[in-house]
A and B are shown apart, each in its own frame.
Chain A
Amino acid sequence: MLSFFKKIKNNKGFDEAIVGTVLILLLFTCTAIILDINSSITTKSLVLSKLENAEIYGLVSGLDYNPTRYGDLGVNHVSAYNSCRSNLLETRSYLLSKNIVDNFNIVNIYVDPWKQTAENFADGKTRYTYGIEATVSFKPKNYIKAPVPFFKRANYPSQNTITLRASSRVFLE
């Protein structure tokens, strides 16, 4: 490395142009990488919060409440699935319209009665918890498409699609 710099230094005139160009390109590339990492982290936290919210929304809207059967509530799985999906579709259109993501796919939604977590209470009633699990994949928007001139974005790691899986549950009493 040292010999390389020594060689450049000896070239009288040629060195400044090359070193300057390389430094500027390096600076732009580093800036682009920092910005893209930052936006990626923010987008990931935003999508995760939206995803968890959509799940709880779906789960609560799917609750089959009957006040006379205290402690014996159920979840309408079809309703929970549909509500979660429609809320995620709204999230998807919101993120795309705000130009936050390049794509957003709803991979899977699964409603699971976690009956293994049923608890028996002192009043003789058994309370269950129900869960819903959704998986989405998305690609955070890149601020800078091609940080180095003449090099396409494809030359940089492009597999930045993030898959998130979250699960929520509500305790029914």
Chain B
Amino acid sequence: MFLKKLKNNKGMSAIIYVFIMLICIYIFAFIIDMIAINQTKYLAIREAAFVARVAGRQGGFESSKPQYYDNSEPYITGPRMIQILTKAFNTKNINSWEVTVNGRSLYTNTVSNFQNDMNVRLSVSYKWGFLPKVLPMSPTGNFSVKHLVKSERFVRYEQYQE
């Protein structure tokens, strides 16, 4: 029936159908990409909130558990936090991301004393996945979440003087 209709319309219907199909494919690819990007943003928001809360509770990150830190509480070191984030972002195939505390990487010492401000920033780069396959373009984007947190930890400076 479809072929008969195309034949009767002398080519015009074919062009219309091709256009409609193309529009449908573009819209479909656009929706899929937008949903994927929103999921990326949602994940970044969730992980940024987690990093901010841990940074506030621990007063930043160190490469190992501080000597005088409460033994009853778990301590997440900087490299361990990066491992946790890598695992979370790998589930969404996000390879380009960066997390900083006061502009410094988590591999460095980012300790802040009680009631001092810390700027926690998580930025994620994303690419459009489906649309570049049907259109000659490759849009990219960057999304960053910033949290200003207060340190809740009293730093005992004697441990740094030893």
- Identify the A interface with B (CB < 8 A): 16, 20, 23-24, 27-28, 31, 34-35, 38-39, 41-42, 45-46, 49-50, 52-53, 56-57, 60-61, 63, 65, 87, 90, 94, 170
Contact = CB atoms under 8 A, between A and B. Distances in A.
Contact of B42 (A28, A42, A65, A94): A42
A45 B42 contact: yes
Interface in B91-130: 114-115
A60 B45 contact: no
A41 B52 CA distance: 21
B14 interface: no
B93 to A, nearest CB: 18
Contacts of A60: 56, 115, 150-152
Contact of B23 (A24, A38, A57): A24
Contacts, number: 70
Interface residues of B, number: 29
Contacts of B53: 53, 56
Interface of B: 16, 20, 23-24, 27, 30-31, 34-35, 38, 41-42, 45-46, 48-49, 52-53, 56, 114-115, 145-152
Contacts of A27: 23-24, 27
A66 to B, nearest CB: 12
By secondary structure, the B interface counts as helix
Contacts of A41: 38, 42
A46 B148 contact: no
Given A27-B24, A28-B27, A38-B35, 7 more contacts: A31-B27, A35-B31, A38-B38, A45-B42, A56-B53, A57-B56, A60-B152
A87 B148 contact: yes
A23 B31 CA distance: 17
A13 B152 CA distance: 73
A39 B143 CA distance: 14
A142 B35 CA distance: 15
A170 B151 CA distance: 12
B41 A42 contact: yes
A35 B41 contact: no
Given A20-B16, A27-B27, A39-B38, A57 B46 contact: no
B52 A53 contact: yes
Contacts of B20: 20, 23-24
Nearest to A53: B147
